[in-house]
Chains A and B, each alone.
Chain A
Amino acid sequence: MMIDRETRKRLFETVANRVIANADELTDLDRAIGDGDHGTNMRRGFEAVLAASDELAAKSFGESLKGVGTTLVMKVGGASGPLYGTLFLTLGKLLADDVSQEQLADAFAAAIEAVKARGKSEAGQKTMLDVCLPVLAELRERGAGLPARLKTTAKLAAEHTIPMRAIRGRASFLGERSIGHMDPGARSSALIVDAVADVMEGFA
């Protein structure tokens, strides 16, 4: 896939609008098991991305992804800022304008490792990683219908965080009481994957 300027702009705007449109749901999820600011924080970050989308898209894909990461780091105002910021910064370091599925998977794998280090977290702890890791596994699979497969995987993976007990983040303070709620970070990751898959479908 060649990620040209127009595609970069569409990608950043689709992702930002998806997060902004679902910010209230993220806040509700976070209110149940956290400090209730995930939606407002993510909205603040992605509104800044949206406001800068022309300027960001004018740069190479790598530089523009780094720009998204830096914007999230500076604007989100919660732990999700450095976590998503690190994800996009790492992708930006590794991706060129012409991206194969394999290159995308390798870059995403490196970005997930960086997020693990930033959050001192692992799979199964009721976090965004519990969506990112299954999505990475799907991204490694060959075959038709990749965007649809990514969407389904992300949605189910977010739902699979419901019975998990939180080990990291504010939700971990609730112990057993964190069980029975979807993790807000897993949900925001699923939203972002869904929006990226929408843009990928445009290539098919």
Chain B
Amino acid sequence: MSENVGIVIVSHSADVARGTALMVEQMVGREVPLGWCGGNPDGGLGTNVEAIMAAIDKAWSEKGVAILVDLGGAETNSEMAIEMLPESRRGRVVVCNAPVVEGAVMAATEAASGASLEVVRRTAEELTPA
């Protein structure tokens, strides 16, 4: 089990999610548990609660998981996925209000330092104008 906060990338596009994951790995290698998903249940553009739940599971860390999303449906579906998690995990997963690519790279870099979930989230959200 990793000692670092996990990162999940949720995009409407599998290509964007995968590309973002590659950029994250370039920064932090395997130091940060990473999950990603993109596309609706038919594989078209969209988001998919089941895939988000699987990505959270893949990136699971006892220190928690930070999710980076692109557009509205990714956020709504991520929040829904969090609610459907077992109660023991629900409180340790957050959706960051940050741009997906920059946010994921910043959050992962912070996570690799061993930072807490709250610090990881705050670092990603520094990218968002107040």
Would you call B76 and A82 a contact (CB within 8 A)?
A: yes
| CA distance in complex: A169, B73 (Å) | 8
- Chain B interface mostly helix, strand, loop or mixed? loop
Which residues of A from 47 to 94 have beta carbons under 8 Å from B? 73-79, 81-83, 85-86
Known contacts A81-B80, A82-B76, A170-B71; is-contact A73 B49 (Cβ 8 Å): yes
Q: Which residues of A contact B40 (CB under 8 A)?
A: 37, 41, 44, 76-78
Chain A residues within CB distance 8 Å of chain B = 35, 37, 40-41, 44, 73-79, 81-83, 85-86, 118-119, 168-170
Sort A-B residue pairs by CB-CB distance and give the 7 closest, nearest first: A77-B40, A82-B80, A79-B73, A77-B46, A79-B76, A78-B73, A82-B76
Inter-chain pairs besides A74-B50, A81-B49, 15 sampled, C-beta below 8 Å? A37-B44, A44-B40, A44-B41, A74-B49, A75-B41, A77-B41, A77-B47, A78-B46, A78-B47, A81-B80, A85-B80, A118-B76, A118-B79, A168-B72, A169-B72
Q: Which residues of B contact A169 (CB under 8 A)?
A: 72
Number of interface residues of B (CB under 8 A): 19
Chain B residues within CB distance 8 Å of chain A = 39-42, 44-50, 71-73, 76-77, 79-80, 84
Q: Which residues of A contact B50 (CB under 8 A)?
A: 74
